[in-house]
Amino acid sequence: MEIEPTYRDLIKELKEKKIRLSYQRVKILDYLNQHRTHPTADEIYTGLIAEIPSLSKTTVYNSLNSLVKANLIQELTIEDNENRYDIVTETHGHFKCEECGRIYDFKVELDSFNPEELKDFQINQKGVYFKGICKKCLETNQKNLQNEE
């Protein structure tokens, strides 16, 4: 696979971490870049299997773990039964709708937030997860109520 020049230094950095940017991994990265829905490993697998018939689900898991370790992507643990992946590695909040399951991004300023209780702690990662019902679902519910009358 031809690699664009802009990726040169990235690849170099990965080489130092001994993480190769293989065909499969680039495709997974590309999928995450085009699908900003915070997909699961299974969704990524299903989305790529047509284009890469040889793809193994194990490869998806292995690749995602490598990419997380290289800090190219972020792993989200919102529900206990599924990990999700995000190509945006900067700290931001995630809202999961308990009705439709969609996950929304929102801005959160946490750089300046260092709680007293964690003084002298080394903080590596900050996660903010909200749950509730999204605007779309609230509107749908409202319409259904009106139709029932």
Q: Given the rule CB under 5 A, which residues bind Mn ion?
A: 86, 105
Cβ–Cβ < 8 Å for 41, 75: no
Please tell me whether residue 99 binds Zn ion under the rule CB under 5 A: yes
C-alpha separations of 145 from 73, 125, 141 in Å: 41, 42, 6
For residue 136, give both structure tokens: 């779309």
In the set 10, 19, 35, 82, which binds its own copies (CB under 8 A)? 82
Please tell me whether residue 71 binds DNA under the rule CB under 7 A: no
Which one, 121 or 147, has the nearer CB to its own copies?
121
In the set 4, 5, 16, 18, which binds DNA (CB under 7 A)? 18
Alpha helices in 54-108 (DSSP H): 57-69
C-alpha separations of 135 from 2, 95, 107, 132 in Å: 42, 11, 17, 10
In the set 3, 11, 100, 110, which binds Zn ion (CB under 5 A)? 100
List phi, psi (to 5°) of 82.
-165, 130
Judged by beta carbon distances under 5 to 8 A according to partner kind, the member of DNA, Mn ion, Zn ion, none in contact with residue 99 is: Zn ion
**Contacts to Zn ion from residues 125-144, by CB under 5 A:** 134, 137
Which one, 42 or 105, has the nearer CB to Mn ion?
105
